[in-house]
Chains A and B, each alone.
Chain A
Amino acid sequence: MNAFAGSQNYVLDDELSKIVNISMSLEMPLLLKGEPGTGKTMLAHAVADSLSMDLIVLNVKSNMKLIEALYQYDTLTRLNDSRFGDSARDVSDINEYIRMGKIGQAFVTEKRCVLLIDEIDKAETEFQDDMLDVLDQMEFDILETDERVRAKHRPVIIITSNAKKDLSDPFLGRCNFHHIAFPEPKMMRKIIHAHFEDISDILAKNAIDTFYELRTIEGVEKKPATRELLNWIRALQADPDFKSGKLLAKEIPYLGVLFKKSGDYQRATGTLVKTGFFR
């Protein structure tokens, strides 16, 4: 079996690559937890990329029902077809009106694929448990046609969760688990270089120092994460004044890129003025 070893835009530590490979060979879903912006979702993209598999993403919503993730029976189109009778579909064949949901697609696809189930914590507990049942059995029934859909290939399943609260025990029992910690400054340096090849050393260093300092501001609802840092550096690079990075020690521009909630933004600016950050 192919092993996963990171991809061009994703900096992978040894720990994580081992864990991904273990889950793949055990054929168990991998549950990833961690702060928003630590690259949980990116990991699935990187895995799919490096193994050249297709990636199917199921974005979980709070009111989602399991059946939506499996398949949908399009009654309305069928009704309309039977009324006008001008479509190419055969109205008497229910199968024409069954559409696969994301999990269904991952099951019927010809090649083995990566299935990313993003932000599972948004859904109800019942959804989570039922879904794991389906993923465990690798099959589900279509009630309307009384057919059973079996997975042709067991997809590589990656599940992400932002919640601090633990998921239910039966759920955890069927997954492997990993928690992605927020990257250390050293690791962050590598991540930045993976995204910006030609970044100047001074800019990278000053940006990272400032970034970690800003993260220590208390009472912020959403702390800036890797994603924000990357966008911020992009903004800095576009600005001729800050491109060299030297000015960053004196002034911090584009705070809005890092703090996206207006309350957080005000708090951050307030703290900076108070502590005399503007040296």
Chain B
Amino acid sequence: MFIQFFYTLKEVGIPVSPTSFLIFHNAMEKGLVRSVEDFYYTARTVLIKSEKYFDLYDQVFAHIFQGTALPERSEEELDLMAMGMLDEWLKNPKELAASLGIDEDKMNKLSPEELLDYFKERLKEQEGRHDGGSKWIGTGGTSPVGHSGYHPGGMRVGGVSGGKTAIKVAGERRYKDYSIDAPLTRAALGEALKRLRNLVPQGAKDQIDVDGSIYQTMKNGGEIELVFERSVVDRLKVILAIDNGGWSMEPHVEVVQTLFSYALAQFKDLKTYYFHNTIYDLLWEDPARYRKPVPLDTLVRKDPDTRLIIVGDASMAPYELMSTDGSIYAFERSGSPSIERLRFLAKTFPHSVWLNPVGRRSWGYTRTIEVIRTIFPMYELSLDGLEQAVARLMQK
């Protein structure tokens, strides 16, 4: 019963499991469902496991039981599809160009933004449906873009999946905001704070020291003497170095600062420094990087147990990192290349991580990210990345 309902839920992208569908039938057998309203609540509480699908569930429910149309794709989704096509283009320009019937060289001259606009235009032009033809968007055709087709490398653009040939389901990225891989935003601050909570020293365990107890017991001539150990608790010192130069870092700087200032109470000491692109001889205490320079060498005097967290996109011209006078600011050129400086930092503070707002998937495309990764363990600036970074920082 209601198998259509179940499959429609699945088709719109709600993860529903057959087991829960059986449980739902079990509920019906028990006579829990006596009205449409009962049906609505029972099915929802048993089948849907996250509030982010509640809205979608409502739509499907209305569609099945009241015959309302399932919603059409909006402008926003069109954007996502175009983004998907851009991804595809970056991966395999030749094939996409061929399928669109345009010159690859011409496409190469376009900037990503222009490309995006171009894809969107093409998607919008596609008002009427072409089914079974070889136009570039339609259903059941041989073109790689479109859906239900059988082009092996094709990308699906909206609609309901027919076969499993589409390697990219462009329209299904609607829940990106909720994803734990998404970059950290203000909304996720609370969650991120929870991740930081593990950033505390180990210890405070009221554990019995077995060796000590045996030793003392022996000394007492067999009279049992219990020895407890309680490690001394000292709160952590943290150095936060933030790349606040350039527009690419702008959205992230404030979030990171707020995050750590909220967490301030659990640290013994939190120092924030700023730099642009990469670190040379100086770090700056003021965000404008003008008034309060701090020579890097003075950091040696800090406790080597201090945790160093660097936040930056690590993306720059290779010479800025490798060349002996790579800094874009002339007064900072002292002779040792930035990469040596970074190695020095990593050596001074064995517990260090680099948090990168750039998504992990794109790291391979930037040479300097690859280089810096060999010096610092690098993690995404996302909830998951933060969790891993904290785990790394707490390693002995």
Contact = CB atoms under 8 A, between A and B. Distances in A.
Interface string B282-308: 000000000000000000000000000
A165 B191 contact: yes
A169 B180 CA distance: 15
Chain B interface mostly = helix
Contact of B41 (A15, A30, A163, A166): A15
A23 B191 contact: no
A22 interface: yes
Interface stretch (A87-95, A144-152, A173-181, A246-254): A173-181
B46 A22 contact: yes
A238 interface: no
A166 B49 contact: yes
Nearest to B180: A165
Given A25-B30, A164-B191, A173 B20 contact: yes
**Range, interface on chain A:** 20 to 34
Interface string A177-216: 1110000000000000000000000000000000000000
A25 B45 contact: no
A12 to B, nearest CB: 13
**Range, interface on chain B:** 35 or more
A33 B50 CA distance: 9
Given A19-B45, A165-B383, A219 B186 contact: yes
A83 B49 contact: no
A143 interface: no
A134 interface: no
Given A173-B19, A179-B54, A221-B189, A76 B45 contact: no
Contacts of B15: 169
A142 interface: no
Given A62-B197, A79-B226, A22 B32 contact: yes
Contacts of A263: 262
A166 B186 contact: no
A177 B180 CA distance: 20
Contacts of B38: 18
A15 to B, nearest CB: 6
Contacts of B178: 164
B26 interface: yes
A221 B180 contact: no
B115 interface: no
A18 B41 contact: yes
B231 interface: no
B27 interface: yes
Contacts of A62: 197-198
A172 B46 contact: no
Interface in A12-55: 15, 18-19, 21-23, 25-26, 28, 30-31, 33
A33 B51 CA distance: 8
Contacts of B48: 177
B45 A83 contact: no
B388 interface: no
B221 interface: no
B190 interface: yes
B27 A22 contact: yes
Nearest to A218: B186
Interface string B178-205: 1010000010111100100110000000
B31 to A, nearest CB: 9
Nearest to B51: A179
Contact of A176 (B30, B46, B191): B46
A148 B336 CA distance: 68
Which among A30, A33, A176 has the highest number of chain B CB atoms within 10 Å? Answer: A176
Contacts of B26: 26
Contacts of B17: 173
Contacts of A22: 27, 32, 41-42, 45-46
Given A26-B30, A221-B190, A166 B50 contact: yes
B113 interface: no
Interface string B92-133: 000000000000000000000000000000000000000000
B72 interface: no
A253 B50 CA distance: 38
A19 B223 contact: no
Contacts of A28: 23
B208 interface: yes
Interface in A218-248: 219, 221-222
Nearest to A34: B51
Which among B19, B50, B186, B188 has the highest number of chain A CB atoms within 10 Å? Answer: B50
Nearest to A176: B45
B103 to A, nearest CB: 45
B90 interface: no
Nearest to A79: B224
A19 B38 CA distance: 9
B181 to A, nearest CB: 11
7 contacts: A18-B42, A76-B208, A79-B226, A164-B188, A165-B383, A177-B45, A178-B45
Q: What 7 A-B pairs have minimum CB-CB distances, sorted nearest first?
A: A179-B51, A172-B49, A176-B45, A18-B41, A19-B45, A83-B224, A177-B49
Given A80-B224, A165-B180, A221-B189, 8 more contacts: A18-B42, A25-B30, A62-B198, A83-B223, A163-B194, A173-B19, A177-B49, A179-B50
